[in-house]
Amino acid sequence: MPATVQGILWMLVVTINFVMVNVLVKYVGSGLPVIETAFLRFALGLVFLLPMIKTVRNANLTAEVWKLSVARALFHAVAMSLWFYAMTRIPMAEVTAMNFMNPLYISIGAVLIFGERISPPRIAAMAVAFLGGLIILRPGFRSLDPGHVAMIFSAMAFAGSYLLANALTKRLPATVVVFLMSAMVPIVIAPIAIMHWQTPTLLEVALLFLTAAFATFAHYSMMRAFACAPQSVVQPVTFVQLVWAMLLGMVLFGEAFDPFVMLGGAMIILSISYITWRETRRKRMAEAVS
């Protein structure tokens, strides 16, 4: 099988796993406090970190690395808590589509924080993505739920987490970066989760363990996809996740089909895919010249 086809198939697996995470979070989140759900999702997922311990022991964990890791854990804890809250308030498709805005916020953060230069075509693509976000929200044409606001700030917090992750990957192996984030987030969330603790049922614990498993395999599948094919090729496939979310939301939770969400999500994905393709092309041209 050609490597490109393998990459596309792996990315399809990613979309299925992430939408299953959404389904389970939406189901369990209706019965447990949101912050406890987020805590248990990470705490139960610690079992998947065991194979990484040897690599972490050999890593050079400097004071700077610890500061960056703690900052990232704080951003990620806020992002996950807001995302879990949004999942209990608004349709899955809207959460999925609004989460596509992460790369846009990352680009803005890279410009504001790291002084990265940005070209006019990239600005135009970002403007189209922003317009797609407005089409999803439709402010002024309908009343916005607190879940929409939570999802906006969740995507921004995720962007902060990813920017810090980018800084950490220049100092540590990717495995160590993942381990530190996954181990620190439940520690950050624990005090608040304990304050709102409600004893979960065995079924809820089992479903949250499945959530952690789906999330772990989704990230693994994403790495396999990027290893098989360029990101510019597999990025558009993520739109399928919005289709899964819309269909499962209708079937499992009685959510209505919203063509505006599909249109806005498509605009965001196309814009991000264009930016990714353009950046990949620019890097190849720079490598060819050098």
Q: What type of residue sits at position 17?
A: N
Token match 């693994």: residue? 220
Reported as half-sphere exposure (CB side, CA atoms, 13 A), residue 221 has a value of 20
| Better pLDDT: 170 or 230 | 170
DSSP notation for the chain: --HHHHHHHHHHHHHHHHHHHHHHHHHHHTTS-HHHHHHHHHHHGGGGGGGGHHHHHTS---HHHHHHHHHHHHHHHHHHHHHHHHHHHS-HHHHHHHHTTHHHHHHHHHHHHH-----HHHHHHHHHHHHHHHHHH-BTTBPPPHHHHHHHHHHHHHHHHHHHHHHHHTTS-HHHHHHHHHHHHHHHHHHHHHHT--PPPHHHHHHHHHHHHHHHHHHHHHHHHHHHS-HHHHGGGGHHHHHHHHHHHHHHH-PPP-HHHHHHHHHHHHHHHHHHHHHHHHHHHHHHH-
Q: In the structure, what pLDDT confidence band is assigned to residue 289 with cuts at 50, 70 and 90?
A: low
- Residue 123: pLDDT above 80? yes
Examine the pLDDT at 232 and tell me if it is beyond 80. no
Residue 115 has pLDDT above 90, yes or no: no
Only one residue has tokens 């599948």, namely 221
Lowest-pLDDT choice from 135-144, 152-161, 162-171, 221-230: 221-230
Q: What is the spatial distance between Cα 147 and Cα 141, in angstroms, rounded to a whole number?
A: 17
Q: What is the mean pLDDT of residues 225-237?
A: 79
Q: What is the pLDDT of residue 251?
A: 93
Which residues is 139 bridged to in the sheet?
142
Do 186 and 42 form a contact (C-beta atoms < 8 A)? yes
Angle subtended at Cα 80 by Cα 201 and Cα 269, rounded to the nearest 5 degrees? 125
pLDDT band of residue 81 (cuts 50, 70, 90) is: very high
Report the percentage of the chain scoring pLDDT > 70.
98
Q: Indicate the pLDDT class of residue 121, thresholds 50, 70 and 90.
A: confident
